[in-house]
Structure 1
Amino acid sequence: MIKIIIAEDHQALIDGIKLSLENENDIEVIGEANNGEDLIKLVDCLQPDVIITDIRMPKCDGITATRLIKKKHPSIQIIAFSMFDQAEAVKQMQEAGASGYIMKNSSLTKLIKAIRTVAENNSFFDTDIIADKSSENNEFILLSRREKEILRLIGEGKTSNEISEMLFIGKTTVDTHRKNILKKLNIHGKSDLLRFAVERKYDF
Protein backbone atom coordinates (compact mmCIF):
# COMPACT_ATOMS: atom_id res chain seq x y z
CA MET A 1 0.00 0.00 0.00
CA ILE A 2 1.29 3.44 -0.98
CA LYS A 3 0.51 5.86 1.85
CA ILE A 4 0.19 9.46 0.68
CA ILE A 5 -0.31 12.93 2.12
CA ILE A 6 -1.83 15.73 0.03
CA ALA A 7 -0.84 19.35 0.68
CA GLU A 8 -2.95 21.99 -1.04
CA ASP A 9 -4.51 25.24 0.20
CA HIS A 10 -7.77 24.61 -1.67
CA GLN A 11 -9.70 21.99 0.31
CA ALA A 12 -12.03 21.26 -2.60
CA LEU A 13 -9.09 20.07 -4.68
CA ILE A 14 -7.90 17.79 -1.89
CA ASP A 15 -11.40 16.36 -1.55
CA GLY A 16 -11.54 15.76 -5.30
CA ILE A 17 -8.22 13.91 -5.35
CA LYS A 18 -9.19 11.78 -2.35
CA LEU A 19 -12.48 10.85 -3.99
CA SER A 20 -10.72 9.97 -7.24
CA LEU A 21 -8.24 7.70 -5.46
CA GLU A 22 -10.81 5.76 -3.43
CA ASN A 23 -11.00 2.95 -5.99
CA GLU A 24 -7.24 2.45 -6.16
CA ASN A 25 -6.48 -0.60 -4.02
CA ASP A 26 -2.77 0.16 -3.69
CA ILE A 27 -3.04 3.86 -2.73
CA GLU A 28 -4.28 5.27 0.57
CA VAL A 29 -4.57 8.95 1.54
CA ILE A 30 -3.49 9.07 5.20
CA GLY A 31 -3.35 12.83 5.71
CA GLU A 32 -3.93 16.28 4.28
CA ALA A 33 -2.59 19.79 4.92
CA ASN A 34 -3.58 23.27 3.76
CA ASN A 35 -0.19 24.93 4.29
CA GLY A 36 3.49 24.05 4.34
CA GLU A 37 3.98 24.25 8.09
CA ASP A 38 1.14 21.79 8.75
CA LEU A 39 2.53 19.51 6.05
CA ILE A 40 5.93 19.31 7.75
CA LYS A 41 4.33 18.49 11.12
CA LEU A 42 2.04 15.90 9.55
CA VAL A 43 4.92 14.15 7.81
CA ASP A 44 6.78 13.80 11.10
CA CYS A 45 3.72 12.12 12.63
CA LEU A 46 2.46 9.93 9.80
CA GLN A 47 5.60 9.02 7.79
CA PRO A 48 3.97 8.69 4.33
CA ASP A 49 5.54 7.03 1.31
CA VAL A 50 4.60 9.83 -1.09
CA ILE A 51 3.64 13.48 -0.71
CA ILE A 52 1.66 15.43 -3.31
CA THR A 53 2.23 19.12 -2.68
CA ASP A 54 1.30 22.39 -4.26
CA ILE A 55 4.12 24.92 -4.70
CA ARG A 56 2.13 27.98 -3.69
CA MET A 57 0.89 27.57 -0.12
CA PRO A 58 0.55 29.83 2.93
CA LYS A 59 3.06 29.98 5.82
CA CYS A 60 5.67 27.84 4.04
CA ASP A 61 5.68 27.20 0.29
CA GLY A 62 6.04 23.81 -1.32
CA ILE A 63 9.67 24.32 -2.33
CA THR A 64 10.84 25.13 1.19
CA ALA A 65 8.65 22.41 2.68
CA THR A 66 10.08 19.87 0.23
CA ARG A 67 13.65 20.83 1.11
CA LEU A 68 13.01 20.57 4.86
CA ILE A 69 11.15 17.26 4.56
CA LYS A 70 13.78 15.64 2.34
CA LYS A 71 16.52 16.76 4.73
CA LYS A 72 14.81 14.96 7.60
CA HIS A 73 13.10 12.12 5.70
CA PRO A 74 15.16 11.39 2.56
CA SER A 75 13.25 8.21 1.71
CA ILE A 76 9.90 10.00 1.34
CA GLN A 77 9.07 10.75 -2.30
CA ILE A 78 7.54 14.13 -3.21
CA ILE A 79 5.48 15.13 -6.24
CA ALA A 80 4.91 18.80 -7.05
CA PHE A 81 1.31 19.41 -8.08
CA SER A 82 1.22 22.86 -9.59
CA MET A 83 -0.26 25.41 -11.97
CA PHE A 84 3.24 26.66 -12.81
CA ASP A 85 4.55 25.16 -16.04
CA GLN A 86 7.85 27.05 -16.22
CA ALA A 87 11.07 25.08 -16.35
CA GLU A 88 12.50 27.18 -13.51
CA ALA A 89 9.73 26.00 -11.20
CA VAL A 90 10.52 22.39 -12.07
CA LYS A 91 14.23 23.01 -11.53
CA GLN A 92 13.68 24.51 -8.09
CA MET A 93 11.50 21.61 -6.99
CA GLN A 94 14.07 19.13 -8.30
CA GLU A 95 16.82 20.92 -6.41
CA ALA A 96 14.66 20.81 -3.28
CA GLY A 97 14.38 17.03 -3.67
CA ALA A 98 11.13 16.37 -5.52
CA SER A 99 10.95 13.20 -7.59
CA GLY A 100 7.95 14.26 -9.65
CA TYR A 101 6.16 17.29 -11.09
CA ILE A 102 2.75 17.31 -12.72
CA MET A 103 0.26 19.99 -13.67
CA LYS A 104 -3.02 20.49 -11.81
CA ASN A 105 -4.93 20.08 -15.06
CA SER A 106 -3.42 16.62 -15.58
CA SER A 107 -5.67 13.58 -15.87
CA LEU A 108 -6.32 11.25 -12.94
CA THR A 109 -4.52 8.54 -14.90
CA LYS A 110 -1.38 10.66 -15.04
CA LEU A 111 -1.56 11.47 -11.32
CA ILE A 112 -1.91 7.81 -10.39
CA LYS A 113 0.97 6.91 -12.68
CA ALA A 114 3.11 9.59 -11.03
CA ILE A 115 2.31 8.26 -7.55
CA ARG A 116 3.17 4.69 -8.45
CA THR A 117 6.31 5.72 -10.35
CA VAL A 118 7.87 7.77 -7.55
CA ALA A 119 6.84 5.16 -4.97
CA GLU A 120 9.22 2.82 -6.79
CA ASN A 121 12.02 5.42 -6.41
CA ASN A 122 11.76 6.59 -10.02
CA SER A 123 11.12 10.10 -11.36
CA PHE A 124 8.00 11.34 -13.10
CA PHE A 125 7.86 14.76 -14.76
CA ASP A 126 4.91 16.03 -16.78
CA THR A 127 5.67 16.09 -20.50
CA ASP A 128 3.26 19.02 -20.93
CA ILE A 129 5.56 21.47 -19.13
CA ILE A 130 6.52 24.25 -21.51
CA ALA A 131 9.95 25.64 -22.29
CA ASP A 132 11.85 27.90 -19.91
CA LYS A 133 10.45 31.45 -19.82
CA SER A 134 13.23 32.81 -17.63
CA SER A 135 14.42 35.15 -20.37
CA GLU A 136 11.35 37.25 -19.58
CA ASN A 137 12.69 37.82 -16.07
CA ASN A 138 16.29 38.80 -16.67
CA GLU A 139 16.78 40.64 -13.41
CA PHE A 140 15.37 37.71 -11.45
CA ILE A 141 17.66 35.09 -13.00
CA LEU A 142 20.68 37.09 -11.83
CA LEU A 143 19.97 35.72 -8.38
CA SER A 144 21.43 32.46 -7.12
CA ARG A 145 19.20 29.59 -6.01
CA ARG A 146 19.73 30.53 -2.36
CA GLU A 147 18.99 34.20 -3.03
CA LYS A 148 15.73 33.30 -4.79
CA GLU A 149 14.83 31.09 -1.85
CA ILE A 150 15.46 33.91 0.62
CA LEU A 151 13.59 36.39 -1.56
CA ARG A 152 10.59 34.06 -1.61
CA LEU A 153 10.63 33.83 2.20
CA ILE A 154 10.93 37.62 2.47
CA GLY A 155 7.80 37.78 0.32
CA GLU A 156 6.06 35.58 2.88
CA GLY A 157 6.90 38.13 5.55
CA LYS A 158 9.64 36.11 7.23
CA THR A 159 12.29 37.96 9.26
CA SER A 160 16.02 37.29 8.94
CA ASN A 161 15.91 35.29 12.17
CA GLU A 162 13.02 33.15 10.90
CA ILE A 163 14.73 32.61 7.55
CA SER A 164 17.97 31.56 9.22
CA GLU A 165 16.07 28.97 11.31
CA MET A 166 14.13 27.63 8.33
CA LEU A 167 17.21 27.29 6.11
CA PHE A 168 19.63 26.22 8.86
CA ILE A 169 22.02 29.10 8.17
CA GLY A 170 23.23 31.99 10.33
CA LYS A 171 21.39 35.30 10.53
CA THR A 172 24.56 37.05 9.37
CA THR A 173 24.51 34.89 6.24
CA VAL A 174 20.89 35.83 5.59
CA ASP A 175 21.72 39.53 6.01
CA THR A 176 24.61 39.17 3.56
CA HIS A 177 22.29 37.56 1.02
CA ARG A 178 19.82 40.42 1.54
CA LYS A 179 22.53 42.96 0.73
CA ASN A 180 23.56 41.02 -2.38
CA ILE A 181 19.93 40.81 -3.55
CA LEU A 182 19.50 44.57 -3.09
CA LYS A 183 22.65 45.22 -5.11
CA LYS A 184 21.81 42.79 -7.93
CA LEU A 185 18.25 44.06 -8.30
CA ASN A 186 19.24 47.69 -7.85
CA ILE A 187 16.72 48.05 -5.04
CA HIS A 188 17.18 50.54 -2.20
CA GLY A 189 15.71 49.87 1.21
CA LYS A 190 13.84 47.11 3.03
CA SER A 191 10.38 48.32 2.03
CA ASP A 192 11.21 48.25 -1.69
CA LEU A 193 12.74 44.79 -1.31
CA LEU A 194 9.65 43.52 0.48
CA ARG A 195 7.39 44.97 -2.23
CA PHE A 196 9.46 43.29 -4.96
CA ALA A 197 9.50 40.00 -3.05
CA VAL A 198 5.72 39.99 -2.60
CA GLU A 199 5.14 40.80 -6.27
CA ARG A 200 7.59 38.16 -7.52
CA LYS A 201 7.21 35.51 -4.84
CA TYR A 202 5.92 32.89 -7.25
CA ASP A 203 7.11 34.42 -10.50
CA PHE A 204 9.56 31.80 -11.73
Structure 2
Amino acid sequence: MIKVAIADDHQTLIDGICLRLENDKNIDLKFFTNNGRDFLKKLKNTPVDIAIIDIKMPKMDGVSLTRVLRAEHSDIKIIVLSMFDQIDAVRKMIDAKVNGYVLKTSPMDELVIALREVYEGNDYFDDHLEGISELFNKREKSEKSKLSQTEKEILDLIAEGKTSQEIAEVRQSAVSTIDTHRRNMSHKLGLYGKGELLRYAMDKKYKFD
Protein backbone atom coordinates (compact mmCIF):
# COMPACT_ATOMS: atom_id res chain seq x y z
CA MET A 1 0.00 0.00 0.00
CA ILE A 2 1.40 3.39 -1.05
CA LYS A 3 0.87 5.96 1.71
CA VAL A 4 0.39 9.40 0.15
CA ALA A 5 -0.13 12.96 1.39
CA ILE A 6 -0.90 16.18 -0.51
CA ALA A 7 0.11 19.82 -0.04
CA ASP A 8 -1.81 22.08 -2.43
CA ASP A 9 -3.77 25.29 -1.89
CA HIS A 10 -6.39 24.42 -4.53
CA GLN A 11 -9.07 22.49 -2.64
CA THR A 12 -10.97 21.62 -5.81
CA LEU A 13 -7.92 19.82 -7.15
CA ILE A 14 -7.46 17.96 -3.86
CA ASP A 15 -11.11 16.86 -4.00
CA GLY A 16 -10.52 15.53 -7.50
CA ILE A 17 -7.45 13.57 -6.43
CA CYS A 18 -9.32 12.15 -3.44
CA LEU A 19 -12.13 11.02 -5.73
CA ARG A 20 -9.68 9.36 -8.13
CA LEU A 21 -7.71 7.58 -5.40
CA GLU A 22 -10.55 6.40 -3.17
CA ASN A 23 -11.19 3.33 -5.34
CA ASP A 24 -7.52 2.46 -5.79
CA LYS A 25 -6.73 -0.38 -3.40
CA ASN A 26 -2.98 0.18 -3.72
CA ILE A 27 -2.93 3.86 -2.70
CA ASP A 28 -3.88 5.24 0.70
CA LEU A 29 -4.31 9.02 0.94
CA LYS A 30 -3.36 9.69 4.56
CA PHE A 31 -3.93 13.46 4.71
CA PHE A 32 -3.90 16.72 2.76
CA THR A 33 -3.11 20.34 3.64
CA ASN A 34 -3.21 23.69 1.85
CA ASN A 35 0.35 24.77 2.67
CA GLY A 36 3.76 23.34 3.48
CA ARG A 37 3.80 24.38 7.12
CA ASP A 38 0.64 22.44 7.97
CA PHE A 39 1.94 19.52 5.93
CA LEU A 40 4.99 19.23 8.18
CA LYS A 41 2.83 19.41 11.30
CA LYS A 42 0.63 16.53 10.17
CA LEU A 43 3.63 14.55 9.00
CA LYS A 44 4.89 14.33 12.59
CA ASN A 45 2.05 11.97 13.50
CA THR A 46 1.32 10.41 10.12
CA PRO A 47 4.27 9.03 8.14
CA VAL A 48 3.89 8.68 4.37
CA ASP A 49 5.80 7.21 1.45
CA ILE A 50 5.17 9.94 -1.10
CA ALA A 51 4.41 13.66 -0.84
CA ILE A 52 2.49 15.29 -3.68
CA ILE A 53 3.23 19.02 -3.52
CA ASP A 54 2.38 22.20 -5.40
CA ILE A 55 5.08 24.81 -5.94
CA LYS A 56 3.32 28.05 -4.97
CA MET A 57 1.46 27.86 -1.66
CA PRO A 58 0.91 30.27 1.23
CA LYS A 59 2.96 30.14 4.46
CA MET A 60 5.49 27.67 3.02
CA ASP A 61 5.86 27.01 -0.69
CA GLY A 62 6.88 23.83 -2.46
CA VAL A 63 10.52 24.82 -2.83
CA SER A 64 10.90 25.40 0.91
CA LEU A 65 8.87 22.31 1.78
CA THR A 66 11.05 20.16 -0.46
CA ARG A 67 14.18 21.49 1.20
CA VAL A 68 12.85 20.59 4.66
CA LEU A 69 11.69 17.15 3.56
CA ARG A 70 15.06 16.39 2.04
CA ALA A 71 16.83 17.50 5.22
CA GLU A 72 14.54 15.91 7.80
CA HIS A 73 12.59 13.17 5.96
CA SER A 74 14.96 11.94 3.28
CA ASP A 75 13.06 8.66 2.96
CA ILE A 76 9.93 10.40 1.64
CA LYS A 77 9.68 10.59 -2.15
CA ILE A 78 8.38 13.83 -3.66
CA ILE A 79 6.20 14.41 -6.72
CA VAL A 80 5.52 17.97 -7.85
CA LEU A 81 2.00 18.58 -9.17
CA SER A 82 2.00 22.02 -10.78
CA MET A 83 0.62 24.30 -13.46
CA PHE A 84 4.14 25.51 -14.22
CA ASP A 85 5.48 23.81 -17.33
CA GLN A 86 8.41 26.18 -17.88
CA ILE A 87 11.79 24.48 -17.84
CA ASP A 88 13.07 26.92 -15.18
CA ALA A 89 10.45 25.64 -12.74
CA VAL A 90 11.24 22.02 -13.50
CA ARG A 91 14.97 22.62 -13.22
CA LYS A 92 14.59 24.25 -9.82
CA MET A 93 12.64 21.32 -8.45
CA ILE A 94 15.05 18.79 -9.96
CA ASP A 95 17.89 20.65 -8.27
CA ALA A 96 15.91 20.30 -5.03
CA LYS A 97 15.94 16.53 -5.69
CA VAL A 98 12.28 15.76 -6.30
CA ASN A 99 11.42 12.33 -7.72
CA GLY A 100 8.74 13.37 -10.16
CA TYR A 101 6.92 16.27 -11.82
CA VAL A 102 3.37 16.07 -13.19
CA LEU A 103 1.35 18.86 -14.78
CA LYS A 104 -2.09 19.68 -13.39
CA THR A 105 -3.34 19.87 -16.96
CA SER A 106 -2.53 16.20 -17.56
CA PRO A 107 -5.13 13.45 -17.00
CA MET A 108 -5.43 12.29 -13.39
CA ASP A 109 -4.20 8.87 -14.45
CA GLU A 110 -0.82 10.47 -15.16
CA LEU A 111 -0.47 11.20 -11.43
CA VAL A 112 -1.43 7.64 -10.54
CA ILE A 113 1.22 6.30 -12.91
CA ALA A 114 3.76 8.67 -11.37
CA LEU A 115 2.89 7.47 -7.86
CA ARG A 116 3.46 3.85 -8.81
CA GLU A 117 6.69 4.55 -10.69
CA VAL A 118 8.17 6.69 -7.94
CA TYR A 119 7.14 4.20 -5.25
CA GLU A 120 9.05 1.53 -7.17
CA GLY A 121 12.18 3.69 -7.03
CA ASN A 122 12.00 5.31 -10.45
CA ASP A 123 11.85 8.99 -11.36
CA TYR A 124 8.82 10.16 -13.34
CA PHE A 125 8.53 13.36 -15.36
CA ASP A 126 5.45 14.25 -17.38
CA ASP A 127 5.92 13.76 -21.13
CA HIS A 128 4.10 17.06 -21.70
CA LEU A 129 6.98 19.01 -20.11
CA GLU A 130 8.65 20.86 -22.96
CA GLY A 131 12.43 20.62 -23.00
CA ILE A 132 12.62 17.93 -20.32
CA SER A 133 14.69 15.60 -22.51
CA GLU A 134 17.19 18.34 -23.28
CA LEU A 135 17.38 19.21 -19.61
CA PHE A 136 18.41 15.71 -18.63
CA ASN A 137 20.70 15.23 -21.62
CA LYS A 138 22.48 18.54 -21.25
CA ARG A 139 22.28 20.64 -18.09
CA GLU A 140 22.99 24.21 -19.16
CA LYS A 141 25.60 26.35 -17.45
CA SER A 142 24.37 28.97 -15.01
CA GLU A 143 24.48 32.67 -15.88
CA LYS A 144 28.06 33.90 -15.49
CA SER A 145 29.65 31.38 -13.19
CA LYS A 146 28.06 28.31 -11.66
CA LEU A 147 27.03 28.78 -8.05
CA SER A 148 27.95 26.08 -5.57
CA GLN A 149 25.21 24.05 -3.88
CA THR A 150 25.81 25.99 -0.65
CA GLU A 151 25.43 29.29 -2.49
CA LYS A 152 22.19 28.10 -4.12
CA GLU A 153 20.79 27.17 -0.71
CA ILE A 154 21.77 30.54 0.74
CA LEU A 155 20.26 32.28 -2.30
CA ASP A 156 16.94 30.52 -1.58
CA LEU A 157 17.06 31.76 2.02
CA ILE A 158 17.83 35.29 0.81
CA ALA A 159 14.77 35.03 -1.45
CA GLU A 160 12.69 34.31 1.66
CA GLY A 161 13.79 37.69 3.03
CA LYS A 162 16.10 36.30 5.71
CA THR A 163 18.96 38.43 7.00
CA SER A 164 22.56 37.20 7.25
CA GLN A 165 22.00 36.65 10.98
CA GLU A 166 18.90 34.54 10.34
CA ILE A 167 20.59 32.56 7.59
CA ALA A 168 23.56 31.91 9.87
CA GLU A 169 21.19 30.53 12.52
CA VAL A 170 19.46 28.26 10.00
CA ARG A 171 22.75 26.93 8.65
CA GLN A 172 24.49 26.94 12.04
CA SER A 173 27.39 28.98 10.74
CA ALA A 174 29.00 32.34 11.47
CA VAL A 175 27.44 35.55 10.16
CA SER A 176 30.81 36.43 8.62
CA THR A 177 30.68 33.20 6.60
CA ILE A 178 27.27 34.11 5.20
CA ASP A 179 28.48 37.61 4.34
CA THR A 180 31.44 36.09 2.50
CA HIS A 181 29.09 33.87 0.50
CA ARG A 182 26.98 36.94 -0.32
CA ARG A 183 30.01 38.80 -1.64
CA ASN A 184 31.16 35.80 -3.68
CA MET A 185 27.70 35.34 -5.21
CA SER A 186 27.44 39.02 -6.07
CA HIS A 187 30.85 38.85 -7.74
CA LYS A 188 29.99 35.71 -9.75
CA LEU A 189 26.68 37.16 -10.89
CA GLY A 190 27.93 40.68 -11.53
CA LEU A 191 25.59 42.22 -8.95
CA TYR A 192 27.15 45.16 -7.19
CA GLY A 193 24.37 47.59 -6.27
CA LYS A 194 22.71 47.66 -2.87
CA GLY A 195 19.83 45.18 -2.77
CA GLU A 196 20.72 43.68 -6.17
CA LEU A 197 21.39 40.21 -4.74
CA LEU A 198 18.01 40.17 -3.00
CA ARG A 199 16.23 41.24 -6.18
CA TYR A 200 18.10 38.57 -8.14
CA ALA A 201 17.21 35.91 -5.55
CA MET A 202 13.53 36.86 -5.62
CA ASP A 203 13.50 36.78 -9.41
CA LYS A 204 15.14 33.35 -9.57
CA LYS A 205 12.86 31.90 -6.88
CA TYR A 206 9.77 32.47 -9.00
CA LYS A 207 11.26 33.12 -12.39
CA PHE A 208 8.46 30.97 -13.84
CA ASP A 209 5.65 33.27 -12.60
Contact 1:160 1:171 in 2 (8 A): yes
User: Secondary structure of 1:46's partner?
Assistant: coil
Change (3 A) 1:40 1:175: farther
Return the structure number with greater helix share. Answer: 1
1:202 and 2:180 are equivalent in the alignment: no
1:151 and 2:169 are equivalent in the alignment: no
Matches within 5 A, 1:62-141: 62-131=62-131, 138=143
Matches within 5 A, 1:25-64: 25-64=25-64
Code of the residue aligned with 1:2 in structure 2: it is: I
User: Secondary structure of 1:47's partner?
Assistant: coil
User: Secondary structure of 2:3's partner?
Assistant: strand
Q: 2:182 aligns with which of 178, 185, 195?
A: 178
Change (3 A) 1:106 1:58: same
TM-score (norm 2): 0.79
TM-score (norm 1): 0.80
Q: How far apart are residue 107 of structure 1 and its match? A: 1.0
Contact 1:36 1:62 in 2 (8 A): yes
Deviates more, 1:45-54 or 1:181-190: 181-190
Contact 2:88 2:207 in 1 (8 A): no
- The 2-side partners of 1:116 and 1:158 are apart by 38
User: Secondary structure of 1:177's partner?
Assistant: helix
Q: How many residues align?
A: 203
**Residue ranges of structure 2 left out of the alignment (5+ in a row):** none
User: Secondary structure of 2:44's partner?
Assistant: helix
- The 2-side partners of 1:163 and 1:197 are apart by 14
Report the counterpart of residue 8 of structure 2 in structure 1: 8
Q: How far apart are residue 111 of structure 1 and its match? A: 0.4
Contact 2:79 2:101 in 1 (8 A): yes
**Residue ranges of structure 1 left out of the alignment (5+ in a row):** none
Change (3 A) 1:3 1:151: same
- The 1-side partners of 2:27 and 2:182 are apart by 43
Q: How far apart are residue 74 of structure 1 and its match? A: 2.5
Q: How far apart are residue 168 of structure 1 and its match? A: 5.5
- The 2-side partners of 1:89 and 1:29 are apart by 26
Code of the residue aligned with 2:10 in structure 1: it is: H
